Structure 1
Amino acid sequence: MIVFCGYGNSDLTVNVPVLPGAGDRVQALGIERHDGGMGANAAAAAARMGADARFAGVVGPDALSTAFLDGLGADGVDVAWTSRRGRLTTAVILVTPDGERSIISEDDDVTESHVAEVVRRCTAAGGGWLYLDGYRFPWAAALLDGATGVRTVVDLDGCESAEAARAALSAAEHAIIGASQAEHLLGPDLAAAAVSHRTHLLVTDGARGWRLHTPAGDTRAGAAIDIQVRDATGAGDCFVGSYLAELERGAEPAAAASFAAVAAGLSCTGPGARESQPDRDAVAAYLARGA
């Protein structure tokens, strides 16, 4: 079981010729609405890889939220732990023809009490994997203390301070962070951060691949796949969900990261955060062709 407690969004994707600067006006090439959100995207990716994925975010009682949950269900995600006592947030995503993007998002209704309830339910269910994003730290660390059988993975995207990042590392068995944030939040010696916090620290760097720092002080690295990027929205979420799915299957972390890198790359070949997420067969077929 992998429980994803985090963002679920309705994404308003605006295709633009260039990302605008301050005071600029650009003409949209097209506007589309897609399902998105870090936690929901990662849950969908894990489900497509065959994992027992459950989404435990917060949406609303409205029709758009119902359609959002139906979409997750169609991907194989169990949404029974989703609260409908809040609202489905919106993210505005600007995407250029070469796949670059800027994102404007709003705070969701995943509160401290909601996360505490999810942790309690995980513990009562006998444990399993729990995904949290960086927006929940530092306060979420205390909620995980004593959560028997719960193995935590944190996507550090969203951490707003070094204090929050350190709290997340202290609570996480695995933590994933983008290279652009890593040194800013954790300092230049990432291997030392992994050792001192006794965690697996996985640094993703887009087309430049990934690096995995282990609690034992080892470092492994892997390449991204060579693809034509159409839309990179959600690629990091696809990486995290696929990585978690492989861990649940018993893969070693480096092997899980290599697999996730292929899934994330393939997800960039089409529009939106979820529409182009591959399933396990697609990743296996790509790896077979490479072999």
Structure 2
Amino acid sequence: MIVFCGYANADLTVAVPELPGPGARVQATGVRRGDGGMAANAAAAAARMGADARFAGVLGPDPRSAEFLDALAADGVRTDWTSRAGVLTTAVVLLTPDGERSVISQDDRVTTDHVEEVARRAHTAGADWLYLDGYRFPEAEAVLGGPGGPALVVDLDGCDGPRAARAALGAAGHAIVGRAQAAAFLGGDDGAFAAAAAEHRVNLVVTDGARGWTLFTPDGGRHGGPAIEVTAVDATGAGDCFAGAYCAELDRGTDPPAAARIAAVAAGLSCTRPGARDGQPRREAVLAHIAANRTDPGTGGGTSDFTLARSRGEET
């Protein structure tokens, strides 16, 4: 079982000809509503990859929150640990024709007490993995850990600066982060990322959009590959899809390099349809892509010929 705790959003996606700069005014070419949020998206991606996924965020008692949870359930995600004592937050996504986007998100009601309660329940239920988005740190570090609990996977992209990122790395067994964020949090080169992985004894996956991904292992290992070529329609949620698929593969017993390779294909395919979740593939589609391109994600180390979708260097 994988428990996903963190953001759930109602996404408002606004199509624009270009991302506006300070003081600029642009005319929207379309407006679309959908479901999103880092943790909720990752949970849906994991379930589509065949994992036993449970979402444990905070929503409201309103009908829109109920619809949001129904959509997760339709993807096979269990939602009975979700608190209904808060609100369903909103994220505004500005999306350009080539898939580039900016996201404006609203703070949610996932408190440190809620994280602690979810971690306790996950431990009691025998969950193997607990996913947290980076927004929960550094505060969450104090309420996690202990022998016998689930292994922690953190998406660092939500962290508010180096201190939060370091706290998350200290608690996690696996961490995922976009390269721009990794440079801001840990230093600007692969040497710094490798040193952080070794220092914190964490498997650190650094994604870099069209330029691919790199996994730094605690023992000094390094694995990675370039991007699959797809026509990117919308990169929103691609990083969340990567995280969910990576968790699902770890839960299957796949080693981290192969899990990252499979997750990269899932993330690439997710960019071929609009919205944070509509393009998330099922595992059979990912494996079919791998077979069609005569690649073998189960070989362990070395360089692979697939990863995140090409979208003008979009960070995911």
* Structure 1 counterpart of 2:297: none
TM-score by length of 2: 0.91
Which amino acid counterpart does residue 35 of structure 1 have in structure 2? D
1:277 aligns with 2:273: no
1:256 aligns with 2:254: no
* Structure 1 counterpart of 2:181: 181
Aligned 8 A contact 1:119 1:147 in 2: no
* CA drift at 1:183: 1.6
- Cα distance in 2 for partners of 1:92, 1:256 equals 31
- Cα distance in 1 for partners of 2:74, 2:170 equals 35
* Structure 2 counterpart of 1:57: 57
- Cα distance in 2 for partners of 1:96, 1:212 equals 29
- Cα distance in 2 for partners of 1:126, 1:60 equals 27
* Structure 2 counterpart of 1:238: 241
Aligned 8 A contact 1:127 1:148 in 2: no
* CA drift at 1:54: 0.4
* CA drift at 1:126: 2.0
Q: Which consecutive segments of 4 or more residues in structure 1 shift more than 3 A? A: none
Aligned 8 A contact 2:36 2:276 in 1: yes
- Cα distance in 2 for partners of 1:195, 1:247 equals 20
- Cα distance in 2 for partners of 1:199, 1:143 equals 19
Aligned 8 A contact 1:243 1:256 in 2: yes
Which amino acid counterpart does residue 246 of structure 1 have in structure 2? E
1:222 aligns with 2:214: no
- Cα distance in 2 for partners of 1:186, 1:148 equals 29
Q: Which 5+ residue runs of structure 1 have no aligned equivalent?
A: none
- Cα distance in 2 for partners of 1:7, 1:276 equals 19
Aligned 8 A contact 2:3 2:127 in 1: no
- Cα distance in 2 for partners of 1:22, 1:165 equals 28
Which amino acid counterpart does residue 243 of structure 1 have in structure 2? Y
Secondary structure in 2 matching 1:157: helix
* CA drift at 1:142: 1.2
1:265 aligns with 2:268: yes
Aligned 8 A contact 1:123 1:147 in 2: no
* Structure 2 counterpart of 1:170: 170
* Structure 2 counterpart of 1:34: 34
Distance 1:70 1:147, change over 3 A: farther
Aligned 8 A contact 1:133 1:156 in 2: yes
1:191 aligns with 2:194: yes
Which amino acid counterpart does residue 230 of structure 1 have in structure 2? V
Secondary structure in 1 matching 2:65: helix
* Structure 2 counterpart of 1:286: 289
- Cα distance in 1 for partners of 2:101, 2:161 equals 23
Secondary structure in 1 matching 2:157: coil
- Cα distance in 1 for partners of 2:147, 2:60 equals 28
Aligned 8 A contact 1:120 1:147 in 2: no
- Cα distance in 2 for partners of 1:252, 1:91 equals 34
* CA drift at 1:231: 0.3
* Structure 1 counterpart of 2:136: 136
Which amino acid counterpart does residue 117 of structure 2 have in structure 1? E
1:156 aligns with 2:159: no
1:202 aligns with 2:231: no
Of 38-47 and 139-148, the range deviating more from structure 2? 139-148
- Cα distance in 2 for partners of 1:28, 1:126 equals 48
**In percent, how many aligned pairs have the same letter?**
66
Question: 1:222-274: per-residue Cα shift (whole Å, max 9, x none)?
Answer: 22211111000000000000000000001010000000110000000010000
* Structure 2 counterpart of 1:113: 113
Q: Which 5+ residue runs of structure 2 have no aligned equivalent?
A: 295-316
Question: 1:135-178: per-residue Cα shift (whole Å, max 9, x none)?
Answer: 11111111113152310000001111211111101100000010
Secondary structure in 1 matching 2:67: helix
